[in-house]
Amino acid sequence: MAAPAGAGDGASASAAAARAAEEARALLPASSPAVHGDDDDDDDEDLEERAYEAAEKVIVCISDGPNLESGDGDDAALCSSSGAGAAPPFSWRKLWLFTGPGFLMSIAFLDPGNLEGDLQAGAAAGDTLLWLLMWATAMGLLVQLLAARLGVATGRHLAELCRDEYPDWARRALWLMAEVAVVGADIQEVIGSAIAIKILSKGYLPLWAGVVITALDCFIFLSLENYGVRKLEAVFAFLIATMAISFAWMFTDTKPNGKDLLIGILVPKLSSRTIRQAVGVVGCVIMPHNVFLHSALVQSRKIDQNKEYQVREALRYYSIESTIALAISFMINLFVTTVFAKGFYGSKEAGNIGLENAGQYLQEKFGGGFFPILYIWGIGLLAAGQSSTITGTYAGQFIMGGFLNLRLKKWVRALITRSFAIVPTIVVALFFDASDSALDVLNEWLNVLQSIQIPFALIPLITLVSKEQVMGVFKIGPNTQAVTWTVATLLITINGYLLMDFFSSEIRGPLSGSVLCVAVLIYASFVLYLILRGTELSEKIIKAIRNSFS
């Protein structure tokens, strides 16, 4: 019997649809309900993107039983010794199990952009800005503790919460700003790593080759996560240790004056001649993508958000760990600043030093020694570039997945995130390879790009941790709110000064000035919207606008 008309087309269409569905399932994480065919309505929340799947999380309950780090064993049995509601006493072993996310977060305080800010501050201002570096790091710690608090208390990261908190147009604008911040930071980080590769290869490998190597080895490092979160954290611990040893070696080689160093840390001093370096030191502290990153990283430990004592315990250990991590990053930044203060403060080279030529200047100033200081600098810079590139890609995955609710395998998200940054970075490397001054100009523009994005991470963070509907009993109190808004206002004002100073020297002519004015108006309006949204004042303004058009 002949088949009915269209039956063959219908069969082929069904087969094509089945193949498309199979391809889509291949891109989903293995634990996704879509893969296993779980249609239970109670598991609808599993359809949302998550920072970590349940099987990936590190169990942090103390027990003499199964392997805690691998996730083996019965969770209830492991946690039963903690008591019904009281937080258990402090444990060094448990602190060790919580150690990791804070050190990954601290990488953003040590990226090549920060190192360049350190060396330029040291060369231009000597040791006089060390006190500002210390207080800027303290402000950064406060912001990062808020990000950790948000992630631990809610079980969701900042990008996911922004997706639910803001209307569609604002959510998309925030996502775009966050992606721009990731790409801008990634260009600096990859270029820094490529400069280090060029130094260590004695110029044999050009900048663009270093960019390609950095892009590829980033995937190799991220693949370690397949063997467990703790393996990836161990890699970062090694890279931070490499930075600490390299820059401490430089510090001891240059023999800085201990008295000047102590005075620089304890005695605030600021002059009109060093105001730009001071603004740069503070402006480099808050990396917008790092706020999103830390709120996601803290979810790598298995915590029951319904048990208040577990959340409080996690917050205590994460606070200790983050403080230790940023204390180490402060020491590394101090080493770099002090070395360049010792070598170049008051010299004619002070205004010309950047990442590209810093190693050569160090070599000419301090000589070879047992191990040439040029290569010590190159090793430290390579560790900074590699580690910050990996965390940047990691942050990009969380930002994209959280804002867009993409349920994709991590390697797919990593490939997309890497592609956003690597193409413009290769173009930059080919264009700027032969020019130190051009790289410095590029770095200034990238710093401006980062400064523009800061309100779009800070304001949503403070807004969310202040809301009882989001945080429950872990909402920050009025005093903490006042302190955090003061710090945020200070950081935004300082970066605003940096932007005005930069654009006043770069923008010329009535047309470009007019375009800048329009852009500033739109920018300021969006920032004001984020600050006032949900307040009584904003509701009155909206009501007045509606009445005027009705």
Q: Is the dihedral of CA 163, 167, 172, 173 positive or negative?
A: negative
Q: Name the average pLDDT for the chain.
A: 79
Instruction: Find the Cα–Cα–Cα–Cα dihedral 428, 431, 433, 439, rounded to 10°.
Output: -60
Mean pLDDT of 83-108: 84
Rounded to an integer, what distance in angstroms lies between the CA atom of residue 126 and that of residue 149?
37
Instruction: Please give the pLDDT value at position 150.
Output: 95
Which segments of 56-121 are extended strands (E)?
58-59
Mean pLDDT of 363-369: 76
Three-state DSSP state, 461 = helix
Structure tokens of 195? Answer: 């400069």
Three-state DSSP state, 18 = helix
500/63: higher pLDDT: 500
Rounded to an integer, what distance in angstroms lies between the CA atom of residue 34 and that of residue 211?
37
Cβ atoms of residues 459 and 527 within 8 Å: yes
The 10s digit of each residue's pLDDT in 369-381 is: 667 888 899 999 9
Q: What is the DSSP letter of 166?
A: S
Mean pLDDT of 51-73: 59
Instruction: Please give the pLDDT value at position 78.
Output: 44
Residue 76 banded pLDDT, cuts 50, 70, 90: very low
Q: Scanning the structure block, which residue is given the tokens 């090793």?
A: 379
Residue 68 banded pLDDT, cuts 50, 70, 90: very low
pLDDT tops 50 at residue 19: yes
Residue 535 banded pLDDT, cuts 50, 70, 90: low
Our separate counts of H helices and E strands in the chain read 24, 2
How close are the terminal C-alpha atoms of the chain, in Å?
Answer: 68
At residue 534, φ and ψ (nearest 5 deg) are 85, -10
Instruction: Please give the pLDDT value at position 206.
Output: 85
Q: Scanning the structure block, which residue is given the tokens 């069969």?
A: 11
Instruction: Please give the pLDDT value at position 357.
Output: 83
At residue 301, φ and ψ (nearest 5 deg) are -105, 145
**Amino acid letter at 478?**
P
75/283: higher pLDDT: 283
Instruction: Please give the pLDDT value at position 546.
Output: 66
- Return the percentage of the chain with pLDDT > 70, whole number: 77
By mean pLDDT, which of 70-79, 349-358, 367-376, 438-447 is the weakest?
70-79
Using alpha carbons, select from 103, 355, 358, 434 the residue that is nearest to residue 238. 103
Beta bridge partners of 356: none
pLDDT tops 50 at residue 61: yes
pLDDT tops 60 at residue 384: yes
Rounded to an integer, what distance in angstroms lies between the CA atom of residue 481 and that of residue 466?
7
pLDDT tops 90 at residue 434: no
Burial of 331 (0-12, 13-18, 19+ CB in 10 A): middle
Instruction: Please give the pLDDT value at position 374.
Output: 87
pLDDT tops 90 at residue 98: yes
The 10s digit of each residue's pLDDT in 228-276 is: 888 888 989 999 999 999 999 999 888 888 888 999 999 888 877 777 7
pLDDT tops 70 at residue 334: yes
Burial of 388 (0-12, 13-18, 19+ CB in 10 A): buried
Cβ atoms of residues 333 and 354 within 8 Å: no
Rounded to an integer, what distance in angstroms lies between the CA atom of residue 282 and that of residue 307?
38
Rounded to an integer, what distance in angstroms lies between the CA atom of residue 294 and that of residue 104?
8
Rg (CA), the chain: 25
